[in-house]
Amino acid sequence: MKRSVSLAAFLLLLVATVGYPQAPEATGQRGQRGERGARGQRGQQQPSQPAAPTPRFKDGTVNLSAAAGEKGFWNVGTTSVYGRGLPGNLTAEQIPFEPWAKALFQYRQATSTKDDPHARCVPDGGIHFWQLTNGVEIIQQPELNRIIMVAGHNHIWKVVHMEPGRVHPSPDVITYGYLGDAIGHWEGDTLVIDTVGFNEKFWFHRGGLPHTSEMHLIERLTRVDHDTLKYEATLDDPGAYTKPWSGGSLIRWQTTNYDGSPGGEIDEYYCMDNERDSQHFASK
Amino acid sequence: MKLRAYIAICFLACFALSAAAFAQEGHPLVGTWHGSWGVDDKNRNDVTLVITFTGKGQIISGVVNPGSNSAPIQKATLDPANWAVHFEADAKDSGGKPVHYVVDGKIEDIGSVHRSIAGTWTAGTARNNFKVTRD
C-alpha cells in the first residue's frame, strides 16, 4: 500500500508506463488495455551524449515538433530515464483530496484501475492525454493562431487556441468535452495552456485521480533541449480537491516507430478497431 | 403502424444513446438513477432520482421524481468511508397528502458506471426497501 501510495504521486505516473519496472503493479496499472504494449520500447537509444539545443523557428519561437528534415514525436513511455515525476511532486498522502475523491482514488488503485474508461476506448483528456504510450505530436500553426496536439492513441487531437485576448466560454454555455476548451500563450519559452470545460466521462489521469467538471487545468510545456519536454500541470478542481496543486514529469523525444524501427512517426492506432484481446479485459 | 414502430425504434435508440452518453466518473452520486421502493416485491413505487453536485461547499442536491410532482432532495450526505448515502424529501403520496421521505442506503459497485444505491426508504412511518441504479 505504501509503495502504491508513494508512486501515485501525481502526474507522475506518467511513470506508470515504463520507467519503473515495479511501477505498473505498484500503481495498480496493468498496462493500457486496448493498446499494443508499450510503444517504442525496442530500439530505444539512451542518450549517450548531451542533447542538441532546443530547436526554434526563424522568429525565435520554440519548435515543439520536429525540426526541418527530422522526424519524431513525444512519448512518455520511451525510456527508463524519462517519464518519472519531477522533484517536488506530491505523494498521494500529500494530495489535497476531498474525502470522496480520496476514497474513490484508493478504490481505483486497489482494483488495479480496472474501471478506467480508457479500456472502453473513451478519449483520454487532461493529463491522461500525455500518458498514452502511443505518443503525441505537436503541430504549431501560428498563422492560424492555434497549436494542434495529436495523440497517437485513437488519433484524438486537441486544439490549443492562441488568439491574443481569447477567453473561455462561460460555464453555462461551454460545451463540456473530453479535451476541454484550451487557450494557450507563451511565457518566454514555455507554452502555457489553460483548459476548462472537461466532462466527467473519463479519467483525467491514468492512475485514477478523480476530477469533476469544475476542473481548471493549467499545463506548462517547456522544451528544455532537443530531446526533453518538461511537462508541468496545476490542477484547480474545487469539486475533488481542497486547493490547487501541481506536479510534472519529463517527456522524451522519440525518433523510432512503435516497433523500434527508425522513423519517428506515429502510426495509425485505433483502440476498438485494433483490439484483439477484449476477452481478457477486467473492466466492464 | 409502420410510423409507430419507427417512432418507437427511434425513441429506444435515443434512450440507449443517452444512457451511454451520461456515463460519468466524477462525484459518485451525480447522475440519474432509476428504481423502486416498497415494502415487498409486489408493492413497489417507481422512483427516479436526479442528483447534482456543487464543488464549492461539497453540496449534494437534486430532485426525487422530476416533473410536476417532484420533491427537492434535502439533507443529502455521502460518507466515503463506506459509501453510505442519506437524504430526505418532502413529497406527496398518491392521495395528495404530504409525506416525508427519509432514505438511507449504500452505493454498490462504486466503480461501475451503472452502480446502484440500496437500503431503506421510509415514507412517513412506513419502512420500505429500495434500490436505484444509475443510468
Q: Where are the beta strands (DSSP E) in chain A?
A: 73-75, 136-141, 146-151, 157-161, 181-187, 190-196, 216-225, 228-236, 245-254
CA distance A123 to A155: 9
B44 shares contact with chain A (CB less than 8 Å): no
B77 shares contact with chain A (CB less than 8 Å): no
Q: What angle (nearest 5°) sits at the alpha carbon of residue B110, between those of residues B66 and A133?
A: 115
* For range A108-122, the mean pLDDT: 91
Going by pLDDT thresholds of 50, 70 and 90, the confidence category of residue A218 is very high
Of B21, B24, B58, the CB nearest to A98: B58
* For range A109-137, the mean pLDDT: 90
pLDDT beyond 90 at A179: yes
B36 shares contact with chain A (CB less than 8 Å): no
pLDDT tens digits, one per residue of B4-31 = 655 555 444 444 444 444 567 999 999 9
- Best-predicted range by mean pLDDT among B19-23, B94-98, B103-107? B103-107
| Interface pTM, i.e. ipTM | 0.83
Residue predicted with more confidence, A252 or B19 = A252
Domain range list for chain A? 2-36+67-265
Going by pLDDT thresholds of 50, 70 and 90, the confidence category of residue A29 is very low
B26 shares contact with chain A (CB less than 8 Å): yes
CB contacts, 8 Å: A200 with chain B: 24-27, 30
What does the mean pLDDT of chain A come to?
A: 82
CB contacts, 8 Å: B107 with chain A: none
A117 shares contact with chain B (CB less than 8 Å): yes
* For range A26-52, the mean pLDDT: 48
CB contacts, 8 Å: A203 with chain B: 25
Residue with the three cell numbers 520507467: A19
pLDDT tens digits, one per residue of B41-86 = 999 999 999 999 999 999 999 999 999 989 999 999 999 999 999 9
Q: Are the CB atoms for A198 and A213 separated by under 8 Å?
A: yes
CA distance B20 to B12: 12
A164 shares contact with chain B (CB less than 8 Å): no
Q: How far is A69 from chain B (nearest CA, A)?
A: 43
* Listed range (A210-214, A267-271, B47-51) with the worst mean pLDDT: A267-271
A272 shares contact with chain B (CB less than 8 Å): no
Domain range list for chain B? 26-134
pLDDT beyond 50 at A41: no
* Listed range (A69-78, A103-112, A212-221) with the worst mean pLDDT: A69-78
Percent of chain A with pLDDT over 90: 61
User: What distances in angstroms separate CA A193 from CA A180, A251, B83, B107, one per listed residue?
Assistant: 11, 17, 36, 37
**Which pLDDT score is estimated for B53?**
97
DSSP B56-108: TTTEEEEEES-STT-EE-EEEEEETTTTEEEEEEEEE-TTS-EEEEEEEEEEE
CB contacts, 8 Å: B58 with chain A: 98, 100, 239
Of B28, B55, B58, the CB nearest to A237: B55
CB contacts, 8 Å: A100 with chain B: 27-28, 58, 78, 80
B78 shares contact with chain A (CB less than 8 Å): yes
Going by pLDDT thresholds of 50, 70 and 90, the confidence category of residue B99 is very high
Residue A119: all three cell numbers together: 479500456
pTM of the model as a whole: 0.82
Selected from 2.40.420, 1.20.120, 2.40.128, 3.30.43, the CATH number assigned to the domain covering B26-134 reads: 2.40.128
A107/B81 touch (CB, cutoff 8 Å), yes or no: no
**Which pLDDT score is estimated for B24?**
75
Of B30, B56, B112, the CB nearest to A284: B112
Q: Are the CB atoms for A76 and A189 separated by under 8 Å?
A: no
Q: How far is A38 from chain B (nearest CA, A)?
A: 26
B19 shares contact with chain A (CB less than 8 Å): no
CB contacts, 8 Å: A213 with chain B: 26
**Which pLDDT score is estimated for A95?**
95
